[in-house]
Amino acid sequence: MRQFHVLLALLVAWLLAPLAIQTGGTFNLFIFAFINLVLVVGLALLFGYAGQISLGQAGFYGIGAYMAAILSTRMELPPFIGLIAAIIVPAAVGYVIGRPVLRLRGYYLAMVTAALGLILHTIFVEWVDVTGGYSGITGIPALSIGSLTARSPLIMYYLSGAVAFMVMGLALRLVDTAYGRAMRTMRESDMAARACGIPTSKLKAEVFALSAGMSGLAGALYAQYVGFVSPESFTIDASINLLLALAVGGVSSLWGAAFGAFLLTFMPEWFHELQNAYGLVLGAVVVVMLTLEPRGLWGILLRLRALLEKRRQVAPA
């Protein structure tokens, strides 16, 4: 229950934050942070809770973006329809592919999912008649309600934030259910999960589909805000960055995933003066942080809380 109180406090801060935001650039950072949060939370459910690594999330992110783009431009359907399709289609693809692929484990699974991401990226590049190749698709209409359009940074800030809070709330609820406990049991041991009667093959495919659908949702939000999609946004590097954000925030924590998403969105802006040296500094920070605390930022916060509680207990009355 406490984590929902935290979520409520963050919700209030989110509603009031625009009063202190002065520039459109800051709004953009928050918008992309919310989109990245949806991506990283989906990966956290798959990897952190179900124990299934994936290096192909950017491919599903791209499917969602292209679905939203194609349906609203080529087929002239309302953007909301594109948003729904951007969730359903990647989820369906993820489920169909996940049944055979997720029988693999460890680095075999990592290599296969990376190959899947490369295949999808190649499709985005080479299927020029549909995706536009490297020229991409332009003129993607934004979501709108009456006269309000999500192309406005302020409106998109609230829209992407609302989606991020909804996704976070549902994910927090999911991991506290019997379904979430089954995911964690499967993460610890496939054999133990099967002995408990958990259909691990079905469960893996379902979580993979859920993660893919969340990636597709993020892709649709990205396409409808930017108004343009091209293959450069959906490379294997993007998948690695998502995994890096999860590792930095905390693999086994949804809150850690959220922290990691925000941190890796804002860090390039904070250290933009480093230019080409930014990657070197980021790599060093990640190595040092994960060496000292493998649970990432969330683990550091847990240690600090435990230390404060210990000091409170020994303090004289």
Between CA 120 and CA 128 the distance in angstroms is 13
pLDDT at 2: 64
- Contacting residues for 94 by C-beta, under 8 A, at least 6 apart: 60, 205, 208, 209, 211, 212, 213
Work out the end-to-end distance of the chain between its first and last CA atoms, rounded to an integer number of angstroms.
29
pLDDT of residue 45: 95
Please count the CA atoms within 13 angstroms of the CA of 198 that sit on its side-chain side.
25
pLDDT at residue 315, rounded to an integer: 62
Rama region for 139: left / alpha / beta (φ>0; ψ in -120 to 50; rest):
left
The predicted model scores a pTM of 0.92
Sign of CA dihedral 30, 176, 243, 140: negative
- 285-311 tens-digit pLDDT: 778 777 878 888 888 888 888 888 888
Mean per-residue pLDDT pooled into runs of 10, the chain (317 residues): 72 86 84 96 94 92 96 91 95 92 83 92 94 92 76 88 93 92 91 89 93 96 94 92 89 90 87 74 78 82 83 69
